[in-house]
Chain A
Amino acid sequence: MKAAVIVFPGSNCDRDLRLALERSSGGPVEMVWHGDTDIPDVDLIAVPGGFSYGDYLRSGAMAAHSPVLREVVARANKGVPVLGICNGFQILTEAGLLPGVLMRNAGLKFICRDVYLRVETTEAPFTQGYGKGQVIRIPIAHLDGNYFTDDDTLKRLAGEDRVAFRYCDADGGAANPNGSRDRIAGILNERGNVLGMMPHPERLADPMLGGADGVAMFDGLAAALS
């Protein structure tokens, strides 16, 4: 698998994501600067977490209009897998690649902690490394992670098997750290080649850091895209 990570001024999980991708793919990862209008020919484009352009105006709003995003959208429309994590998810919704918005957390505070996720679908390259219904532990770190969309879209997401992850407790029961509708933590686009998620799988991809539940995502991608 050849992967590229997009770097905006203010991205701060780009190095972490690159490392996780390199560990699973075994190959170098291309770092693409926000002003670039061309992205190398890769099997996966990853949009990392952070505070692109300071997240001034609205989280992800300015990055969605950066030169490189036009190319990300074009590739996504051609079927290239695109993974957006945290600020990356916010950017992909702002860019219209994914439906809905990420509002301020229900508690109005930044939250950084490990949460549990239930893997709702394995019908995408991003989640095929997990079992359906599997409960995994992955950290969140965001102020604007409260997923909102209208009833019709919510129905479609559920009906089309496009909810990738829902927040849950350690036993798979209901839990909701940020007020997201339907406890949504990550969603897919219609075609299934774009995933946006608030939790950070790249942060628990190393046993030394207290867990490695994130590894299966990157291993799964490497297996699917090689």
Chain B
Amino acid sequence: MSGGEPITPEMIAAHGLSDDEYARLLKVLGREPNITELGIFSVMWSEHCSYKSSKKWLKTLPTEAPWVICGPGENAGVIDIGDGQAVIFKMESHNHPSYIEPYQGAATGVGGILRDVFTMGARPIANLNALRFGSPDHPKTKHLVSGVVAGIGGYGNCVGVPTVGGECEFHAAYNGNILVNAMTVGLAEKDKIFYSAATGIGNPVIYVGSKTGRDGIHGATMASTEFNDDSEEKRPTVQVGDPFTEKLLIEACLELMATDVIVAIQDMGAAGLASSSFEMASKGGVGIEMNLDLVPVREEGITPYEMMLSESQERMLIVLKPGVEAEEKARAIFDKWQLDFAVVGRITDSGRMVLTFEAETVADLPIDFLVSASPEYDRPWTPKPKQGEITAADVAAAGEPLQALKNLVACPDLASKRWIWEQYDHMVMADTVDGPGGDAAIVRVHGTNKALALTIDCTPRYCLADPLQGGRQAVAEAWRNITATGARPLAITDNLNFGNPQKPDIMGQFVGCVKGIGEACAALEFPVVSGNVSFYNETKGEAVLPTPTIGGVGLFADASGRVQAAFQDPAEAIILIGESSGNLGGNLGATLYLREIEGREEGAPPYVDLQAERRNGDFVRGCIEAGQVTACHDLSGGGLALALAEMAMAGNIGAAVEAPDGVAVIGWLYGEDQGRYLMTTSDPAIILAAAEKAAVAARQIGITGGSEIALAGNGAVPVAELLELSEGWMPDYMAKP
């Protein structure tokens, strides 16, 4: 055992370990660790890798359904889509790196999530992303937007996986800490799914992909602390991506997976070789012996410490079946794709990770202790005080109510994001049925008429105002977006972005949101199958808005039955499904109307009635399946008025609507009551009768046609003008010096 320099309290602190955690380490190890061991401990026990603050609450989430093949705990979640096929998906954050170095940070975020999915045997078929930037007026925002978008495009376009959807919002709370959440969806054969549990004493451990360099060392530790003034100095902890190598790695791994030689496979993500080897060994209940002299490296002089902690990209660790034949078969495939291939170790029955380098043992650690005995905290938390409702009576009288629509379609959160998604190849693989810009992206299952409906959603302003309702709403909106296309929602992945969990109010946001997510998942039969937690999204003590991003996946048996949001024809009835609180003045709390028009960020967000959500959504899907619906759109930010405008702009057809007698028009137009949809139909009588039978609130509010959105007695706005405003904001903003 090589000792090297003694461990000082400064080194322990620099590795982000608390005194308690270090004491715990000493106790089980029975001796002082050396520097390599300390490094491994620090990353394995970092918040990012160990989920020590979130575990207690994540365990409460519903993760099962008859169609779930594999829930959280593996590289990604797996669901059954019939016909022997499975969909594998996950979302993950790359927030801190993207703030420090936007292009590489975002690019490697895409690379990492792709590997999580293809490591399980799936060919990646779609990428999505959720981006949250600071205020558009903040001096750094434009630079971050261009860098992140270019990075996502640069990586995704090159690997040849379409980027089909996502969301992008702006708020001053993200000024010093942007959020970049990337999701990958892959397609696999149900009986060819690969897991990460290493087994088979004596089996070879193989390293494939890129060589190991000194980049990204301590990325996981960086992601587990707050930012301050010296964050710029952390740039060397950001990894550098090579999408070309990733493309080769995808092809090589899928080719290898078509043979019969793999026992287990795991990508090297956060905390690189340390994390991947420990996780594989821990899951299989075995030990691993590795000779670090055999690890392919980019340069001379890389130490064992650096090798274990490097987050160099595009690398995988594989346990092969025994025998020369398996090894030669595998080697030939990686040779063909010109990727590194090295036998670096073998599986042992010791239960320990033994690392040697230059003929010396440089680490000898008990695996089970390190992984399963990692700390778990029950952090103190305080609930958010309830906010009061704000109704139309509480807002300033607003001239013609439709005029606010012009401001809303051009506000940063609602304006068209074409500027972003035209930089992403959203059509490669020739299965994108509906790309970005709609409720959910529709991607065909290659070679069939089946298709997946994919969406990403979260409304952080609700989560801030009332974490429980916000958590529910994020899941409900994902479910609703999928439902509005006619697809059947199946499961979600969650990416929970919060501030410092050691602050009780932040922990309270987290707990509230997780509870809300859990309730919605249960009520909507929409389980969580994978996810990621990102804490410490704070700069100088200012936390981001609580942002539990939800990625949803739904299924069509036949994609030709889908509907879009765009109005299809004039003279069709427009039906509003779901209860609106407009007759009571409407709740405008935490709405975009209140924020954008009145400059107020306050009030209780809309209440999410999960029973009504389910009932309304199932009803809408039934109507779509019955072929009664020509267009459908869910109501979310900006309420009824925005949904109408979006349907009109997408179809370039106007609408004439009338508010019910006695409602407060502002509340009716801009309230964000949940569980609602707009549908068009040529036969409203059938739908209204069926709704009555199903106890679903439904009301014809107008008809399509003309070139304006007209509200009886309240004027009109031209669709062309709205379109120009909506499409104009982002290009104008990005072009401004």
Q: Given A9-B247, A112-B422, A113-B422, is A203 in contact with B160 using a C-beta cutoff of 8 Å?
A: no
Any B CB within 8 A of the CB of A218: no
Q: Given A9-B337, A54-B243, A208-B560, is A203 in contact with B248 using a C-beta cutoff of 8 Å?
A: no
The residue from A9, A12, A56 contacting B428, defined by CB atoms under 8 A apart: A12
Which segment of B151-159, B254-262, B340-348, B652-660 sits at the interface? B151-159
Check B242–A203 contact: CB distance below 8 A.
Answer: no
Q: Given A110-B153, A200-B427, A206-B430, is A50 in contact with B337 using a C-beta cutoff of 8 Å?
A: no
List, in ascending order, chain A residues with CB within 8 A of B159's CB.
12
Q: How many residue pairs bridge A and B at CB < 8 Å?
A: 87
Q: Give the CA-CA distance A49 to B150 in the complex, in Å.
A: 20
Q: Give the CA-CA distance A49 to B430 in the complex, in Å.
A: 12
Check B429–A16 contact: CB distance below 8 A.
Answer: yes
Q: Give the CA-CA distance A19 to B427 in the complex, in Å.
A: 15
Q: Given A112-B424, A141-B157, is A51 in contact with B244 using a C-beta cutoff of 8 Å?
A: yes
Any B CB within 8 A of the CB of A148: no
Interface string of B427-471 (1 = CB under 8 A from A): 111111100000000001000010000000000000000000000
Q: Given A9-B338, A56-B244, is A19 in contact with B430 using a C-beta cutoff of 8 Å?
A: yes
List, in ascending order, chain A residues with CB within 8 A of B559's CB.
208
| Residue on A nearest B447 in the bound complex, by CB | A19
Check B427–A203 contact: CB distance below 8 A.
Answer: yes
Check B430–A9 contact: CB distance below 8 A.
Answer: no
Check A12–B426 contact: CB distance below 8 A.
Answer: no
Any A CB within 8 A of the CB of B376: no
Check A10–B423 contact: CB distance below 8 A.
Answer: no
Size class of the contact patch on chain B: 20 to 34
Check A141–B428 contact: CB distance below 8 A.
Answer: yes
Any B CB within 8 A of the CB of A13: yes
Q: Give the CA-CA distance A12 to B424 in the complex, in Å.
A: 14
Check A16–B247 contact: CB distance below 8 A.
Answer: no
Within 8 A of B (CB), among A50-101: 50-51, 53-56
Any A CB within 8 A of the CB of B327: no
Within 8 A of B (CB), among A141-163: 141, 143
List, in ascending order, chain B residues with CB within 8 A of A109's CB.
150, 422-423
List, in ascending order, chain B residues with CB within 8 A of A205's CB.
430
Q: Give the CA-CA distance A92 to B244 in the complex, in Å.
A: 21
List, in ascending order, chain A residues with CB within 8 A of B242's CB.
54
Q: Give the CA-CA distance A209 to B245 in the complex, in Å.
A: 29
Check A9–B427 contact: CB distance below 8 A.
Answer: no
Q: Given A56-B244, A208-B559, A208-B560, is A139 in contact with B427 using a C-beta cutoff of 8 Å?
A: yes
Any B CB within 8 A of the CB of A15: yes
The residue from B154, B427, B433, B449 contacting A112, defined by CB atoms under 8 A apart: B427
Interface string of B567-602 (1 = CB under 8 A from A): 000000000000000000000000000000000000
Q: Give the CA-CA distance A74 to B14 in the complex, in Å.
A: 62
Q: Given A9-B338, A208-B444, is A110 in contact with B244 using a C-beta cutoff of 8 Å?
A: no
| Residue on A nearest B559 in the bound complex, by CB | A208
| Residue on A nearest B423 in the bound complex, by CB | A110
Within 8 A of B (CB), among A8-35: 9-10, 12-13, 15-16, 19-20
Check B247–A15 contact: CB distance below 8 A.
Answer: no
Q: Give the CA-CA distance A2 to B247 in the complex, in Å.
A: 28
Any A CB within 8 A of the CB of B425: yes
Any B CB within 8 A of the CB of A111: yes
Q: Given A10-B158, A10-B244, A53-B244, is A16 in contact with B430 using a C-beta cutoff of 8 Å?
A: yes
Q: Given A10-B158, A54-B243, is A208 in contact with B425 using a C-beta cutoff of 8 Å?
A: no
A66 vs chain B, min Cβ distance (A): 12
Any B CB within 8 A of the CB of A202: yes
Check B160–A209 contact: CB distance below 8 A.
Answer: no
A193 vs chain B, min Cβ distance (A): 26
Interface string of B147-177 (1 = CB under 8 A from A): 0001001100111100000000000000000
Check A110–B157 contact: CB distance below 8 A.
Answer: yes
| Residue on A nearest B419 in the bound complex, by CB | A109
Check A112–B425 contact: CB distance below 8 A.
Answer: yes
Q: Give the CA-CA distance A9 to B427 in the complex, in Å.
A: 20
Within 8 A of A (CB), among B158-209: 158-160
Within 8 A of A (CB), among B110-163: 150, 153-154, 157-160
| Residue on A nearest B446 in the bound complex, by CB | A15
Q: Give the CA-CA distance A35 to B378 in the complex, in Å.
A: 58
Interface string of A109-143 (1 = CB under 8 A from B): 11111000000000000000000000000010101
| Residue on A nearest B337 in the bound complex, by CB | A9
The residue from B248, B424, B433 contacting A9, defined by CB atoms under 8 A apart: B248
| Residue on A nearest B429 in the bound complex, by CB | A16
The residue from B157, B247, B248, B432 contacting A209, defined by CB atoms under 8 A apart: B432
Q: Give the CA-CA distance A51 to B161 in the complex, in Å.
A: 12
Within 8 A of A (CB), among B297-348: 337-338
Interface string of B486-512 (1 = CB under 8 A from A): 000000000000000000000000000
A181 vs chain B, min Cβ distance (A): 22
Interface-centre pick from B157, B338, B444, B559 (highest chain A CB count, 10 A)? B157
Check B160–A208 contact: CB distance below 8 A.
Answer: no
| Residue on A nearest B153 in the bound complex, by CB | A110
| Residue on A nearest B426 in the bound complex, by CB | A112
Check A208–B428 contact: CB distance below 8 A.
Answer: no
List, in ascending order, chain B residues with CB within 8 A of A113's CB.
422
A4 vs chain B, min Cβ distance (A): 19
List, in ascending order, chain B residues with CB within 8 A of A210's CB.
433
| Residue on B nearest A200 in the bound complex, by CB | B427
Check B158–A203 contact: CB distance below 8 A.
Answer: no
List, in ascending order, chain B residues with CB within 8 A of A20's CB.
430
The residue from B244, B338, B428 contacting A13, defined by CB atoms under 8 A apart: B428
A156 vs chain B, min Cβ distance (A): 33
List, in ascending order, chain B residues with CB within 8 A of A206's CB.
430
B247 vs chain A, min Cβ distance (A): 6
Q: Give the CA-CA distance A56 to B243 in the complex, in Å.
A: 11
The residue from B247, B427, B433, B449 contacting A141, defined by CB atoms under 8 A apart: B427
Q: Give the CA-CA distance A19 to B423 in the complex, in Å.
A: 25
Q: Give the CA-CA distance A209 to B433 in the complex, in Å.
A: 5
Check B243–A202 contact: CB distance below 8 A.
Answer: no
List, in ascending order, chain A residues with CB within 8 A of B337's CB.
9
Check B158–A51 contact: CB distance below 8 A.
Answer: yes
List, in ascending order, chain A residues with CB within 8 A of B449's CB.
208
Interface string of A171-215 (1 = CB under 8 A from B): 000000000000000000000000000001011011011100000
Instruction: Give me 11 A-to-B residue pairs in the complex whose CB atoms sit less than 8 angstroms apart, sorted by A's number.
Output: A9-B244, A9-B248, A10-B248, A51-B160, A53-B244, A55-B244, A56-B244, A112-B422, A141-B428, A203-B430, A208-B560
Give 10 nearest A-B pairs by CB, closest first: A12-B160, A54-B244, A16-B430, A51-B158, A141-B425, A110-B423, A112-B425, A203-B427, A110-B153, A113-B422
- Knowing that A10-B158, A56-B244, A203-B428 touch, tell me 15 more A-B residue pairs with CB under 8 angstroms: A9-B247, A10-B244, A12-B160, A50-B160, A51-B157, A51-B160, A54-B242, A110-B157, A111-B423, A112-B423, A141-B157, A200-B427, A202-B430, A208-B444, A208-B560
Binding site for B on A (CB under 8 A): 9-10, 12-13, 15-16, 19-20, 49-51, 53-56, 109-113, 139, 141, 143, 200, 202-203, 205-206, 208-210
